[in-house]
Amino acid sequence: MIWLPFDLHPEYPPEGIPRQRLEARYGEGFSEHVRRMIEGVGFDHRPPPRVPRSLGSLQLAELARDEGRHEAVHAGLFAAYWSHGRDIGDLDVLAEVAAGAGLDPDKAREVLEQGAFADRVRESTEAAHRVGVDAVPAWLIDRSQLILGAQPHQVFAEVLEQLGHAPLEGGEPERGEEDRLGPPGL
């Protein structure tokens, strides 16, 4: 699986939006659904009161990709946001995540201040829109089957079987493995 950046809400202001606006948009039950999904992949669910503008975190992940630390940064961003309630749109938080993943935090700060990966994020987002992505999480399997939204393992198993892929040995993934199938990505 290859994680690609997708800027779901480029219209958000730099300081993000109050979580209540997000909950009002998606309706009753949204927060509980998200909590179950996040806890189901092994994270504590303690998101911050504001939903951040994610361009900085997407750029940090692209720096990490170039430095061979993408997986560590991706995990750090998820933990910072979902489990620790940190604002992953904040430059200081992003520098801490970078350092925790083995990146030079000063270099990360400089890259983010310059917007060095903004074009890459924009281009990836545009490419995703062209294949029909308008939500996260999203997966494009074999460049032919698009799965949108948080889906149970069985949905993936059925799509993979339809495409002629053999099932995983042992059936369902072990606890902790499902996060490689599930968090937002393309």
Q: Check if the beta carbon of residue 75 is closer than 8 Å to that of residue 37.
A: no
- Report pLDDT for 90: 96
pTM of the model: 0.82
Whether 175 and 141 map to the same domain: the answer is yes
Q: Which residue has the tokens 């032919």?
A: 144
Whether 146 and 56 map to the same domain: the answer is no
CATH of residue 110's domain is 3.40.30.10
Whether 88 and 151 map to the same domain: the answer is no
Whether 75 and 123 map to the same domain: the answer is yes
CA quadruple 70, 87, 133, 167: dihedral, nearest 10: 50
Per-residue pLDDT of the chain (186 residues; tens, 9 = 90+): 788 899 999 999 999 999 999 888 888 888 888 899 889 888 899 999 999 999 999 999 999 999 999 999 999 999 999 999 999 999 999 999 999 999 999 999 999 999 999 999 999 999 999 999 998 888 888 888 999 987 888 898 899 999 999 876 655 544 343 333 333 333
- Report pLDDT for 122: 97
Whether 108 and 158 map to the same domain: the answer is no
The domain in which residue 163 lies consists of 132-180
Q: Is 22 a member of any domain?
A: yes
Q: Is 55 a member of any domain?
A: yes
| 3-class SS letters over 44-103 | CCCCCCEECCCHHHHHHHHHHHHCCCHHHHHHHHHHHHHHCCCCCCCHHHHHHHHHHCCC
